[in-house]
Structure 1
Amino acid sequence: MTEELTLTAKDGQELFVYRWLPPEGSELRATVQIAHGMAEHGVRYERLARALNAEGYVVYANDHRGHGKSAGGDANLGWGGEDSWRACADDLGTIGAHIAEQHPDLPRVLFGHSMGSFMTLTYLFEHSAKVDVAVLSGTSNGGDLLQKAGRVVAKLERLRQGPRGKSKLLAFLSFGSFNNAFKPARTDFDWLSKDEAEVDEYVADPWCGFDVTNQWWVDFLGGLIELGDDAKLRKIRADLPIYVFAGDQDPVGAQGKNVRALVDRLRATGHARVKQTLYPGGRHEMINERERDQVTRELIDWLGSTLETC
């Protein structure tokens, strides 16, 4: 059963959190906190959570501000308030503190997918001592010229439409090319997975695929630009084990190019315990790909072997 709880952020924002527990009597191995991607929500990770439960992992996943139940209504989807990026990273700490309080003797794994992987890195800049293992899924590199130019456009669109406006131009500049490699595309979201049933489920979900606000774009792109600063990466403790996995056809990671660039930067800034896996033919959501059972098994095996050394 999926359990639901609410936590209160530092600024009073109500955060909806899902929890999945291993079968009663299981030997508990660690906690896994999941940070989901843009324009989706935490309960989509139930299948992964159940697989982790079977191996003794307690799993939590929240809905970010402006997403799922934390949005407080469909009219607020994509709106996280001012400085939403920093607030979302702080929320990871609020949820992590609750998890640590509930399970003080268990190691802590922080798993971020796509936008959630960038939030995870932002959180780790200041708090890597509180995390035992980090996992980055469907990630990419930060700080490039396109992101900087995009933030300028986002600020102009915010002036034109207001912070709560939803710019079709920003959506096109960000996602408009993602399906190009998969033409003729069946849907606007073929880039997510080769599994048509998974894509159809995403398309049918009212809490998936929505446009975020201009303010969200300004904050998000600011966070990505910050990720391009090697001095920030050096603030993450050097001995933190980090697992990076993605599909080599994922447009978010530039078909693996920007995933490799991020891994190279992590290693160059002193992080020796970084493992990278690029899945041939895989698209953006590897945990929802046709080969998801293999992906999940390899994640669980890596977690098991890594936690033994922590």
Structure 2
Amino acid sequence: MEIIHENEYLYKMNDEIEPYLATHRQEGYISGAEDHLHRKDTGIVGKIHVQRYLAEKPKGVIIISHGFTEAAPKYEEMIYYFLKAGYHVYMPEHMGHGQSYCLTADPSLVHIDTWKRYVRDFLKICHVIKKTYPELPLVLFAHSMGGAIGTIAAAWEPQLFQKIILNSPMLRPLTGNVPWPLVIAIAQTKCLLGREEDYVAGQKPYDGSETFETSGCTSRPRFEKYNEMRKENKKFQVSAASYGWLLASVKMSWYIKYCGWKKLTAPVLLFQAERDDFVSVNALRKFAEKINHRGITSCEYVYLPGTRHETYRSDDRTMEMYLDKIMKFMDSGMVSDSCT
């Protein structure tokens, strides 16, 4: 499959890809997990915004689990590739992101009360999809925070996904110069003191100041495209973590490290960026090693030289190899009882 090259990226996306996707897109809302529909003090109903793209002769369904502060439009290029390859694509936006429900009134803040809410909501969406297409295999495509959510979902229900693709998954977030044990202690203390909705130290409201050089993207045209879209739409401007979210990320990391990885049964394809400022590369390597050593399933570990955290938004040369690897992984051994 031919990628969209950087020298024509804006033109292709604006004039060809986005109109094509618009003709295939349906969108709406699906209620989140029943035990986490709303909070009485805010009256917020737990509705997850979901985009659906339908292929003409589907051989499977790809469910995308996006990363921290991301929204659906950021994945339009990958959605296009998957759709052209013959897969239905579902793009839910996690709670607190995009057009899905929030637990805080601050439009810049990502806050959550319990990490299990992410997983329960995501699984609710997956169940709806599986009920709609019972004969089609489900493929998980997950990035960063969404990688943690998706990995736990796959651990809770090992038979749900036939293939798992993880891009720089947040198996353990990086915490700068602050030691991991201290981060845990601070997050726990803040939440115990009732300050779970405070901004994590060093975080700030969205101000549109992110640059290509400070981003997790390797491709300047890809960065600029989404960055301009983000500046124009407040729904895409979440930018900071609360202490509640930080503690949730810690607990997701613990679950995956000590329990979750053992429950996976589907083959895993894991991409590691060379320069990752957001997740622990050491945690990624240990995760893959443990899965392969256990022998229940396999984890193919792919190192991408010259890339940053957002491996799915890389330079042309990397994208060609990256996409080829994904397509071969998905198509190998894929079993479907129906092509309708």
Q: What is the TM-score of this pair, normalised by structure 2?
A: 0.76
Q: Does residue 263 of structure 2 align to residue 248 of structure 1?
A: no
Q: Does residue 27 of structure 2 align to residue 4 of structure 1?
A: yes
Q: Does residue 172 of structure 2 align to residue 139 of structure 1?
A: no
For 1:266, the equivalent position in structure 2 comes to 291
Bigger CA drift: 263-272 or 280-289? 263-272
1:193-204 residue pairs with structure 2 within 5 A? 193-204=217-228
Q: Extract unaligned runs of 5+ from structure 2.
A: 1-21, 38-45, 205-209
Q: What percentage of residue pairs aligned between the two structures are identical?
A: 18
For 2:214, the equivalent position in structure 1 comes to 190
Q: Distance in 1 between matches of 2:179 and 2:289?
A: 20
Cα deviation 1:144-197 (Å, max 9, x = unaligned)? 99444312112333456722221234x49xxxxxxxxxxxxx837634122223
Would you tell me which structure has more helix in proportion to its own residues? 1
Q: Does residue 264 of structure 2 align to residue 233 of structure 1?
A: no
Q: Is the 8 A contact 2:173 2:279 kept in 1?
A: no
Q: Does residue 323 of structure 2 align to residue 292 of structure 1?
A: no
Q: Distance in 2 between matches of 1:50 and 1:188?
A: 23
1:108-119 residue pairs with structure 2 within 5 A? 108-119=138-149
Cα deviation 1:244-277 (Å, max 9, x = unaligned)? 11222223344x4432222112223334422111
Evaluate the alpha carbon distance shift between residue 129 and residue 246 of structure 1 in structure 2; reply closer, same or farther with a 3 A threshold: same
Q: Does residue 334 of structure 2 align to residue 307 of structure 1?
A: yes
Q: Distance in 2 between matches of 1:54 and 1:194?
A: 24
Q: Distance in 1 between matches of 2:328 and 2:311?
A: 16
Q: Distance in 1 between matches of 2:98 and 2:105?
A: 8
Q: Is the 8 A contact 2:82 2:88 kept in 1?
A: yes
Q: Is the 8 A contact 1:113 1:138 kept in 2?
A: yes
Q: Post-superposition shift, 1:123?
A: 1.2
Bigger CA drift: 7-16 or 73-82? 73-82
For 2:54, the equivalent position in structure 1 comes to 21
Q: Is the 8 A contact 1:141 1:261 kept in 2?
A: no
Q: Aligned Cα RMSD in Å?
A: 2.8
Q: Distance in 2 between matches of 1:210 and 1:143?
A: 16
1:26-175 residue pairs with structure 2 within 5 A? 26-71=56-101, 75-83=106-114, 85-139=115-169, 141-142=171-172, 146-158=179-191, 162-169=195-202, 171=203
3-state SS of 1:130 partner: coil
Evaluate the alpha carbon distance shift between residue 292 and residue 161 of structure 1 in structure 2; reply closer, same or farther with a 3 A threshold: farther
Q: Distance in 2 between matches of 1:258 and 1:31?
A: 29
3-state SS of 1:134 partner: strand
Amino acid at match of 2:251: G
3-state SS of 1:111 partner: strand
Count of residues in correspondence between the two structures: 289
Q: Extract unaligned runs of 5+ from structure 1.
A: 173-185
Q: Distance in 1 between matches of 2:150 and 2:180?
A: 18
Q: 2:303 aligns with which of 278, 282, 302?
A: 278
Amino acid at match of 1:227: I
Q: Distance in 2 between matches of 1:134 and 1:111?
A: 6
Q: Distance in 2 between matches of 1:122 and 1:250?
A: 22
Q: Is the 8 A contact 1:148 1:221 kept in 2?
A: no
3-state SS of 1:129 partner: coil
3-state SS of 1:155 partner: helix
Evaluate the alpha carbon distance shift between residue 159 and residue 140 of structure 1 in structure 2; reply closer, same or farther with a 3 A threshold: closer
Q: 2:244 aligns with which of 200, 212, 215?
A: 215
Q: Is the 8 A contact 2:65 2:141 kept in 1?
A: yes
Q: Distance in 2 between matches of 1:29 and 1:39?
A: 31
Q: Distance in 1 between matches of 2:107 and 2:290?
A: 36
Q: Post-superposition shift, 1:278?
A: 0.9
Between 1 and 2, higher relative CO (CA 8 Å, sep ≥ 6) is seen in: 2
Q: Post-superposition shift, 1:77?
A: 4.8
